[in-house]
């Protein structure tokens, strides 16, 4: 169980980083603000998921 939670937590952290980079790249190149805002919403969602998975790992990983 803890191996699966570890994998999912790392996947959520990587997804967070990718979406953050995409949002910042769009913002820096002067792309539409709505697209950057959508990326940042996805980043918040992935961050929340990563936090939940890390807490689950800490609780159930023992």
What pTM does this model have? 0.79
Q: How many CB atoms lie within 10 A of CB 39?
A: 20
- pLDDT, tens digit, for every residue of 10-61? 999 999 999 999 999 998 999 888 888 899 999 999 999 999 988 988 888 7
What average pLDDT does range 1-5 have in this prediction?
76
């Amino acid at each position: 169980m803890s191996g699966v939670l570890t994998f999912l937590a790392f996947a959520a952290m990587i997804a967070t980083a990718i979406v953050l980079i995409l949002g910042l790249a769009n913002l820096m190149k002067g792309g539409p603000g709505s697209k950057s805002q959508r990326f940042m919403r996805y980043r918040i969602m992935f961050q929340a998921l990563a936090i939940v998975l890390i807490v689950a790992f800490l609780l159930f990983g023992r």
